[in-house]
Amino acid sequence: MNILFIGAHPDDCEVYGGGTAALFSQMGHKVKFISTTNGNAGHHQLMGNALIDRRSAETVAAARILGVAYEVLNNDDGQLEPTFVNRSEIIRKIREWNADIVVTHRPNDYHPDHRYTSILVQDAAYLVMVPNLAMEVPPLQNNPAFFYFADRFQKPYPFSPDVAVDISKTYDAKIQALHAHTSQFYEWLPWISGKSDEVPESEEERISWLKQQWPNLPDKKTVESLKKWYGPERTRKVEQAEGFELCEYGHQPNEGEIRQLFPMLK
């Protein structure tokens, strides 16, 4: 299969789906991460091409760890808009990857880049099959299944994990991928949240600190979803998990098809 994760910034796909992506890759499926922006605003000291180059290098390192392809689109961070030009680019990218699954942000999110990435992917969900749009790339013959990353936002409705994936075996790889994004997890995000003085110095301590920041412990809803797909006995052994919500656009897989799309659900 061909799986496409579309995040707004370099590191978003790793945060919300890195463990699942690594599982797909280990099972022999083709996985690609796309960042719709180049991340050139996400730092308190660096800016412009210097920041773009650094963040791009970090994606290369993360991609190698997870076994995925990675592409960063040339849209400025914090300035993404749901235009026809950007929608056409997303249509082309989904077609080029011949995606069976596309995963992105939900549209109710704190960051405009997240929201508009979601809108762009939603707007492309049907149009990837329309021949007279983005004609440089042939339309897909089969509509992908579209899913959302998990988030904590409650309005207008909270995230609901239609699928939950046990990432206990790939959690360390996910953390290593986050660790590769030094500019984000040890510089920018601590600074913007007022926690710069909490960042450890040594690599070992940083890995431990990252695990505290991103524990991926399944909440009640995720546990219930895990029980559905893995059964109660297996669920009790799950240490870390990632959840995904089925988008109402695109192909609507039944339970049997979901098990085919997520073959690790066993």
- What is the pTM (predicted TM-score) of this model? 0.97
- The pLDDT tens digits for 233-264 are 999 999 999 999 999 999 999 999 999 999 99
Instruction: For residue range 79-138, list pLDDT tens digits in order.
Output: 999 999 999 999 999 999 999 999 999 999 999 999 999 999 999 999 999 999 999 999
- Structural domains for the chain: 2-261 (3.40.50.10320)
Structure confidence by residue, pLDDT tens digits, 145-154: 999 999 999 9
User: Which of helix, strand or coil describes residue 237?
Assistant: coil
| Strand order from edge to edge, sheet including 145-149 | 69-72, 30-35, 2-7, 101-104, 145-149, 241-250, 163-166
Closest to 107 measured CA to CA, from 76, 165, 146, 55 = 146
Residue 95's alpha-carbon distances to 21, 83, 117, in angstroms, are: 19, 18, 17
Q: What is the largest CA-CA distance in the chain?
A: 54
Q: Tell me whether the omega of the peptide bond preceding residue 112 falls within 30 degrees of 0, making it cis.
A: no
Report residue 252: phi and psi, to 5°.
-105, 90
